[in-house]
Structure 1
Amino acid sequence: MKTKTTFNWDLLGISSATICFVHCLIFPILTIIPIGITHNPLIDLLFASIGFFAIIKIVKKATLLVNSILIVSITLIFLSIVIEILLDVHTYLIFIGGIGMIIGHYLNYKNHKIKH
């Protein structure tokens, strides 16, 4: 008997959002130390793109609550990145969006696990 494994988009989303969240928390501390590290919002855009790709795959099958949390969260993250790129202003929207992404993916993962 052959078993078929499916890729779990929630684990990708949780991992990406957690790494992004840790990056956003630790990076400001690293910029204080005079070692020549500068912040590049393109790194944030990379994490957001991975999360967005995971959301596209999840939204088709998730509940309304999970969809709402994920869509609002990714919107806040992208909005924060755009503000940072265009205006060079750092907002807390990325933290709120990151926490929302982790919660949304976790809820969807738990719901998916209960169904199967």
Structure 2
Amino acid sequence: MKKSTTPFYDILGISSATICLVHCLVFPLLTVLPLGLSHNSFIDLLFATMGLFAIFKIIKKTSILISSILIISMALIWISVLTELFLDIHLDLIFIGGVGMIIGHLFNYKFHKNRNH
């Protein structure tokens, strides 16, 4: 029996979205400390790219509900990241998208786990 790699992509997506969310929540607090840190939008772009790679692998093999959650969440993240990168405007959509990505990957992981057992 061939083992599917979907759980790997779910774990990658959950990890990436969680790290991104922690980065987005904690980093602004660190910038007020005199550590010489400044925000780099390319880090957000890296997280968004990792998440995009994970959902492309997942949406082909999952339900329309989970695919919709992941696609909408990723769209919110990309809108926020690109707006900050090109217009230097910070949107809070990235937080909503990050939480949505975590939820979508958790749902897919549970759905996949229940389907295979």
User: Which of the five TM-score ranges fits, normalised by the shorter chain?
Assistant: over 0.9
Structure 2 counterpart of 1:21:
21
TM-score w.r.t. length of structure 1: 0.94
Structure 2 counterpart of 1:43:
43
Q: Give how far 1:5 is off.
A: 5.1
Structure 2 counterpart of 1:60:
60
Structure 1 counterpart of 2:85:
85
Number of residue pairs aligned between Structure 1 and Structure 2:
114
**3-state secondary structure, aligned to 2:91:** coil
Q: Give how far 1:46 is off.
A: 0.3
Alignment partners' CA distance in 1, 2:50 and 2:85? 18
Unaligned runs of 5+ in 2: none
* RMSD over aligned Cα atoms: 1.2
TM-score w.r.t. length of structure 2: 0.93
Residue identity matched to 1:79: I
Q: Which moved more, 1:84-93 or 1:3-12?
A: 3-12
Percent identity, aligned pairs only? Answer: 59
Unaligned runs of 5+ in 1: none
**3-state secondary structure, aligned to 1:86:** helix
Alignment partners' CA distance in 2, 1:85 and 1:45? 9
Over residues 12-62 of structure 1, what are the superposed CA-to-partner deviations in whole Å (9 max), with x where a residue is unaligned?
Answer: 000000000000000000000011100001000000100000000000001
